[in-house]
Amino acid sequence: MTDFMVDGNAMAGDLREIFAMDVTAATVICAGCGLVGAVATLRLWGHPPGIVARCPQCEEVVLRIVRAPDRVFLDLRGALRIELPLPS
């Protein structure tokens, strides 16, 4: 049993460090199966400094974040498209 959150919600801090807006509320299309859903609904494996986010439907890797002391690696291999709502 672990004591941390295990869906995409929990990436909000690491993503907000990189991007100007909240990416967990964005819509992502899985390159593996085409599922459309919020980044917040992806399933997380591991925790910082290395996170793998998988599709809740086909379990393919959608994105990965690896944090090094002086940089961050963002691998978006499994995201066909990310749609970000712009504040009006």
Partner 1 sequence: MAGTAVSRRLIWRVATLVGARMETPTARTLVLQVPDWPGHLPGQHVDVRLTAPDGYSTQRSYSIASAWPGDGTIELTIQRLPDGEVSTYLTDIYRIGDPIELRGPVGGWFVWRTAQNSPVLLLGGGSGVAPLMAMIRARGAVRGRQPFRLIYSVRTPQDALFADELARRVRDDPGLDLRYVYTRKTPEAWPEPPRRIGVATVNTYGWPPEFEPDCFVCGPTSFVETAADILVALGHNSQKIKTERFGGTS
Closer residue to partner 1 in complex, CB, 8/78: 8
CB of 46 to partner 1, least distance (A): 11
Distance CA 86, CA 77 (A): 24
CB of 31 to partner 1, least distance (A): 21
| Contact present, 64 and 49 (Cβ < 8 Å) | no
CB of 20 to partner 1, least distance (A): 4
* Residues comprising the chain, all counted: 88
Contacts with partner 1 by CB under 8 A lie at: 1-10, 12-14, 16-17, 20-22, 24-25, 38-41, 47-48, 87
Q: In terms of Cα–Cα distance, which of 84, 79, 81 is closest to 64?
A: 79
